[in-house]
Structure 1
Amino acid sequence: MPPKPPKTAPATGEGTLDASMLAAFRDIVKEVIPKENHDLREEIKRAISPIKITLDEFNVKLRDQEDGLNNLDTRLETMERRYADMSSDHKKLQEKIDDLENRGRRCNLRIIGVPQGLEKGSPTQFIAGLLFDILGGPNGLDEPPILDRAHRSTAQLPREGNRLCPFIFRVHYFQEKERIQRLARQKGQLEFQGKQILIFPDYSGDLSRRRAALNKVFRGEEGVRYGLLYPARLRISFNGQVKVFENPQRAKDFIMTKIRPAPK
């Protein structure tokens, strides 16, 4: 039996070299990678540092803007409250002014329909005589009323075909002014030299508009009584009920729903 060849021993030199190279590579990697990581971090920090500063500045400005907006909101709320208070006060003052103006006119009356030029430079005496002519007699005026003054409402003569300028006159005694109004209502249609004459209270422009708006609500429904109260209130009596309105639209709604409801 031939002898077996001897076993070859491993090449220990080559294996040792590979292990040494691997260990050296590991050492290099351990040394280089942390340094590269550190350098990379530093570079990133340097790169983002301006951005961070900008973001910080932006955040500061944003907080300032938020504080400014909050301050503006507070100021706006304060102004809105003040505006509401001032609007309420203005309305009250306007009502007081209008009331004072109408109290100052409480002895005034207007006459509409008097032809131009009849007064001939003496409007006060002319109107006093006119009132005595149309309201004098039994149960009427015993003498021409005492007037403080009288004048046309405008100095400009109306054009032909236009409405005549009304006379405004002030009665010296309030009771006599009330009597003139009462006699005018009782007599109904008034005429002077063949012309129809109308006598009205002399209200302010605002009050006249408010009363005119309520006048438009009047209807001729059977069983319904209307009354226009001072300063501008509409009284409606219907089926034993009495309703008082200052708003024309609410008065119309009441008439349409309670007095003249739509047929079903």
Structure 2
Amino acid sequence: MLKLHIEMDAKLTDLEGRSRRENIRIHGVKEGSEDDAPSMVGFVERLLRHKLELPESAEVRVERVHRALVPKPPPNAAPRSIVAKMASYRTKEEILKLAWQKHGFEYLGNKVNLDHDYAPEVLKQRKEYAEVKSVLKEKKIRFQTPFPAKMRVFYPEGPVLYGSVEEAASDLAKRGFPVTVIKCPETIMEQIRHLMWHTTRKTRGQMSKDRTQDYKEKLQAFRRQEQE
């Protein structure tokens, strides 16, 4: 059962990631900046071309654009991000590379940054590296975070690639860095409890009561099997 849940979660995350393959997420553009533009698509195309100083010959074709699908924030709050689907994966990668080289740009007094449009599960996993990243930045040690949620750290003696935040935190702690060691679930029951909590948290507000009850019943059945 545990293996099935893990495989299904991985497949769903992979499918969602593929559907976002050509997307760029733009953070920091003030709410309403696009109101005077003829279209949201045209606004984003002009913004990218002008702020990234792209030549006229460069292709910047956006197919669809929308603000993040959450309620509009109050005036002084951070603006919703903009999700733009580019015409091709290659165009998207070239624009992101250029934006990262420039470390973003200023627009109407706000710092604007571009990134991949990660699936929620991948984004959650990447955010778990926050403490590790903070420690590495403080120690001025270069690192990268390859897709989907890995970390490559460039130590003086050579680079090391970690497959999870648990692995990264554990190794950094052994090297003497002040990080919190995250314990991986060891027993089958711990893994199931972790998976159930993770799934419920991930879909909070979306998962129906029937599905929640289904998970509880499966856990109870598993416990009965252990006792028999």
Same fold (TM over 0.5): yes
1:232 lines up with 2:149 in the alignment: yes
Gaps of 5+ in 2: 179-228
Structure 2 counterpart of 1:88? 3
Q: How does 1:199-214 map to 2 (within 5 A)?
A: 199-214=114-129
Determine helix, strand or coil for the equivalent of 2:29: coil
Q: Distance in 1 between matches of 2:44 and 2:27?
A: 12
Which has the higher mean CA deviation after the structures are superposed, 250-259 or 160-169? 250-259
Which SS does the other structure have where 1:111 is aligned? strand
Match among 96, 104, 107 for residue 181 of structure 1: 96
User: What SS is found at the alignment partner of 2:151?
Assistant: strand
Whose relative contact order is higher, 1 or 2, with alpha carbons under 8 Å and at least 6 apart?
2
Q: CA 1:90/1:122 → structure 2, altered by over 3 Å: closer, same or farther?
A: same
**1:117 alignment partner in structure 2:** 32
Closer/same/farther in 2, CA of residues 212 and 142 from structure 1, 3 Å limit? farther
How much does 1:155 deviate?
6.0
Question: SS of the counterpart of 1:91?
Answer: helix
Question: What corresponds to 1:168 in structure 2?
Answer: 83
Q: Which runs of 4+ in 1 moved over 6 A?
A: none
1:236 is displaced (CA, Å) by 2.0
Please tell me the root mean square deviation across aligned C-alpha atoms, in Å: 2.3
CA contact (8 A) 2:30 2:108 kept: no
Q: Write the distance in 1 (CA, Å) between the matches of 2:78 and 2:139.
A: 34
Closer, same or farther: CA 90–260 of 1 in aligned 2, 3 Å: closer
Alignment of 1:1-264 (within 5 A): 86-120=1-35, 122-137=39-54, 142-143=57-58, 145-154=60-69, 156-218=71-133, 219-220=136-137, 224-260=141-177
Aligned partner of residue 198 in structure 1, secondary structure: strand
Q: Which amino acid aligns with 1:205?
A: P
Spell out, residue by residue over 1:14-46, the C-alpha distance to the aligned partner (whole angstroms, 9 max, x if none): xxxxxxxxxxxxxxxxxxxxxxxxxxxxxxxxx
Q: Max radius of gyration: which structure?
A: 1
Runs (5+) with no aligned partner, structure 1 = 1-85
User: Matched residues, percent identical?
Assistant: 26
Provide the rounded CA distance (Å) in 2 between the counterparts of 1:168 and 1:223: 32
How far apart are the structure 1 equivalents of 2:72 and 2:140? 45
Deviations 1:120-167, CA, capped at 9 Å, x for gaps: 262111111111111124xx6645611110011136321122211111
Give the letter for the 2:22 counterpart.
C
Task: Report the TM-score, using the length of structure 1 for normalisation.
Answer: 0.60
Instruction: Give the deviation of 1:101 after TM superposition.
Output: 0.6
Q: What is the CA distance between 1:106 and its match in structure 2?
A: 1.0
What's the CA shift for 1:225?
Answer: 3.0
Task: Give the counterpart letter for 2:123 in structure 1.
Answer: S
TM-score, with structure 2 as normaliser: 0.69
Give me the whole-angstrom Cα distance separating, in 1, the residues matched to 2:56 and 2:132. Answer: 34
| Amino acid paired to 1:96 | K
The number of residue pairs the alignment matches comes to: 175
Inter-partner Cα distance in structure 2 for 1:252 and 1:142: 46
